[in-house]
Copies of this chain bind each other. A is one copy, B any other.
């Protein structure tokens, strides 16, 4: 029974016609509001009222309806309700990359928060593809009541143009100046400043930045903050090494790091830091005696490496939860509240120490 094409197929499909003569032997007709009404001997309006808990239904009728519904295992069709109500009780999340722990946590936070309010979550991954992201966003938005766009790569002008169609919309790690689109972000610059301050305080004059993926806006933020931070000091030297975002990237960069002669390395994220830690170790350097290493993110592992990693923690779940709150406010026609920038918290552990005194 391979039903191809899009013909409305007898009682094979999901929705069978109201009264087809060719019903399958068993009377497994789909439970619709009409059938329940019929069974209970009332109108569809009444069934609707009962299902929605309207108090203006005679107890006796209500009971009859409930019994019929129960017997037929009836549940109102969410799709039909959505059409009639003009809302889906669903929100969408678009992320660039589902493999990124950051987005996984956002997803979780958002899903849980939305669930609490009886809403479902539609997820889509843009694969870092800008063109596709815009399409996806529009489509996802239409299937739902609101949208959360995480680390959108869509150019400002385009996003601006789209923002009306996407509303209610909440932006994560991305701001849209000149609009009222709420935005929640991590203040990477502040995190970097904290890290640099910590390192400078330990006497480090020469830092090497292990840069993340070129397309990454969070890398751009960090890099810019690093440059600015160093530029304010006259005796601060900054080396930048293109690296990446994985353990292997960090590992591979160890040699180059040593060649820069820096006494401290600021890694794009924790994974890169771990890789560097490992590579440096293999090269016979002791951390933090010979060289200090910092990460970024505070992934769960960071406290367990050897040595435990000094890093900046960011509230990943919180982003998701708060995104929901903003969205919920918007869905109810209220103001979304002020934008926020989460300040990373510097966690000083054992991978950083005083700068070695050169001879």
List A residues at the B interface (Cβ < 8 Å).
Answer: 1-4, 6, 8, 12-15, 73, 75, 77-80, 82-83, 85-88, 90, 98-99, 104, 107-108, 111-112, 115, 120-125, 138-140, 142-143, 145, 165, 247, 274-275, 278, 300-301, 304, 306, 332-334
Contacts and interface: CB of A to CB of B under 8 A. Distances in A.
Given A247-B304, A304-B274, A90 B120 contact: no
Contacts of A274: 304
A14 B79 CA distance: 15
Given A121-B124, A142-B75, A98 B107 contact: yes
Number of copies: 2
Contacts of A138: 75
Nearest 4 A-B pairs (CB), nearest first?
A: A15-B86, A98-B108, A14-B86, A2-B333
A101 B109 CA distance: 15
6 contacts: A12-B333, A79-B79, A79-B143, A90-B122, A115-B124, A247-B301
Given A278-B304, A304-B278, A306-B306, A120 B140 contact: yes
A120 B122 contact: yes
A227 B119 CA distance: 44
A351 to B, nearest CB: 15
Given A2-B332, A121-B122, 19 more contacts: A3-B332, A12-B333, A14-B87, A14-B145, A15-B86, A75-B138, A75-B139, A78-B142, A78-B143, A79-B142, A90-B143, A98-B104, A98-B107, A107-B123, A111-B124, A120-B140, A120-B143, A247-B304, A274-B304
